[in-house]
Chain A
Amino acid sequence: MITTTALTKSYGKAQVVRDVSLHCEPGTITGFLGPNGAGKSTTLRMIVGLTRPDHGTSTVDGRPFAELPNPTRVIGTLLDPTAMHAGRSGRSTLMIAARMAGVPTGRVEQLLHLVGLGDAADQRVGNYSLGMRQRLGIAQTLVGEPAALILDEPANGLDPEGIAWMRGLLQDFADRGGTVLLSSHLLHEVQATVDHLVVISQGTVVAAGPLSELLASSSLLVRTPDPDALAGALRAARIGFGPGPDQTFAVDLRAGRVTAEMVARVALDHHVLVTELRPSDSGGLEKLFFSLTANRTGSTQEAAA
């Protein structure tokens, strides 16, 4: 539904996006994750034709965004909730979107209630809080009954209740076959919402895939009252290990070539008591995120030095 191929963009000498390729399937929510300045917004702007890439292409529903005859019927876009006319009410902002899309304007009232702005509909957007603008922006993306959504940092300015509300809305949208691409630097928000991840750092994609795969643990945590015996047993079985947290062992899974059953059998064969055997905490996305972005920062600094 949303596809980019080797998108690249430089401003002067600074290459802010380099060879970014991603693909979003219907029925999925893809999180576009990266620290500030990683090139997320620039990539999203290139997808919707607001920024011209130096190289690379992007398509929505099989064609470049700029060639969609009536884009808001295909894809709803919310890139910046502060980029709204401050002098217009929430209702007239949505009325304009509905007229442009060519959908019945009766939909506007439903959407105002859906996003919880029914009471504030006649206030000028200039008086809205960031969270209210974010809600109005979400409503605006839904006006044309699109099959896909592109949202840049949609959780910004929302309170925890608002974030939970939006999570439900997006999951509902995806469950009905919709495609969602949202960017964020809020790790926990992404972890709870998305099913696919594209992690970007310094303009390049450093990891991409289903959330479950990216978060899979790479080692087993093993605890025993007899560390020397277990160490000997593991060495004899040629299973690699290191020190784990709190006097435990961290056994390298070697991408599935070592399993919990193998470790348990080794312990059994050597009559070593094991009191804990489980996948080690991966540290979740946070660890992945920081390891990826920190590594890249380090390596490019070395490269630059």
Chain B
Amino acid sequence: MTTIMIRPVRSNGTGVALPGIPFSRLLRVECGKATDTRAARWLLALVAASTVGLMLAPLLAPSSIDQSYTSYLGFAGVAMSVLLPVVSILTLTSEWSQRNVLTTFTQEPRRVRVVGAKIAVAALLGGGAAVFGGLVTAVGLGVAAASGRPLEANLNTGVVVGFVLFVLLNVFMGVALGALVHNSAAAIVASFVLPTAFVALGRASTFVAQWLDPSATLNWIVKGEWSGHTAQILVSVFVWVAVPLAIGLVRTVRREIK
């Protein structure tokens, strides 16, 4: 039996200060955790594949789909909005569902820092996805142009900013839900059911449609229709991101880990 590896035990007398865990280290570790399992890799591959797949639609159906830069970008956005919230949710919830928070929170008992690192990782993945979506759109447009199709070059800064905000809001709505619910399956189901439910509620109540329906908010953002909707967008972001995230953080700090 090899015992040489257990080094002589240090006598950490009281007050001997070992350095704490820097946030950059937490970020690196959480980044690894979000991408090192088969499930995570399949999901990211699926996001990429669905982005490419959806880009085929305007390419293959030029007669029925508007041939413009923003139209192509919109298809990338659809792909992002379906699966990226799931990526964000799993980044936040997978350790709860697998129960290895038990280990993680004994490695870093300041739980908010761990969650903070997970949120940063989700944002990084979202930012990366936005860039990837932009690249796929560019390739799609390149292919269309090469086939000699006339394309309407209607892309401006507002549209690009809108696209990036749209992707990030999708990411953060997933993050907030994951931070609040802690259970992968429940959070994913909620992320699909809630927006649909609010569309339905919005038909019954203009107040809901104007101020709370996340689909409407996302629609305004991706189309850059801020004028006249700024207050609604901010309220909706507050309700769908800030509130669940705040409650989720309090819950994370207080929750007993078994």
Contacts and interface: CB of A to CB of B under 8 A. Distances in A.
A84 interface: yes
A61 B94 contact: no
A147 B15 contact: no
Nearest to A9: B256
A271 interface: no
A114 B2 contact: yes
B205 to A, nearest CB: 40
Contacts of B254: 52
A255 to B, nearest CB: 37
A22 to B, nearest CB: 18
Contact of A48 (B9, B10, B106): B106
A122 B75 CA distance: 39
Interface in B140-184: none
Interface in B1-37: 1-3, 5-15, 17-21, 25-26, 28-29, 32-33, 36-37
A49 B6 contact: no
Contacts of A83: 98-103
Interface residues of B, number: 48
Contacts of B38: 87
A179 B95 CA distance: 29
Given A74-B18, A99-B25, A178 B2 contact: no
B219 interface: no
B258 A45 contact: yes
A82 interface: yes
B257 interface: yes
B37 A66 contact: no
Contact of A63 (B14, B94, B108): B14
B11 A62 contact: no
Contacts of B29: 96, 99-100
A45 B100 CA distance: 14
B107 interface: yes
Contact of A71 (B36, B94, B99, B107): B107
Contacts of B98: 83-87
Given A49-B109, A51-B256, A100-B108, A74 B12 contact: yes
A208 interface: no
Given A70-B19, A92-B36, A77 B12 contact: no
A97 B104 CA distance: 9
Interface in B34-83: 36-40
B32 A62 contact: no
B105 interface: yes
B15 A100 contact: no
Nearest to A62: B14
B197 to A, nearest CB: 31
B177 to A, nearest CB: 21
Interface string A78-109: 01101111111000100111011110000100
B110 interface: yes
Interface string A105-120: 0010011011000000
A142 interface: yes
Interface stretch (A30-38, A165-173, A288-296): A165-173
Nearest to B109: A66
A85 B37 contact: yes
Contacts of A176: 6-9
A232 interface: no
Contacts of A84: 98-100, 103
A1 to B, nearest CB: 9
Nearest to A67: B109
B17 A69 contact: yes
A50 B14 contact: no
B98 to A, nearest CB: 4
Contacts of B33: 85, 96
Most buried by B among A61, A92, A113, A178: A61
Contacts of B102: 50, 79-80, 83
A209 interface: no
Interface in A103-148: 107, 110-111, 113-114, 140, 142, 145-147
A65 interface: yes
16 contacts: A26-B11, A49-B106, A52-B254, A61-B14, A73-B12, A84-B100, A85-B37, A87-B98, A92-B36, A97-B103, A102-B21, A111-B5, A114-B3, A142-B6, A147-B11, A172-B3
Given A63-B14, A77-B106, A83-B101, 19 more contacts: A26-B11, A69-B20, A74-B18, A83-B98, A83-B99, A83-B100, A85-B94, A85-B95, A85-B98, A97-B103, A100-B21, A100-B29, A102-B21, A102-B25, A107-B5, A111-B5, A165-B1, A177-B9, A178-B9
Interface of B: 1-3, 5-15, 17-21, 25-26, 28-29, 32-33, 36-40, 94-95, 98-103, 105-110, 254, 256-258
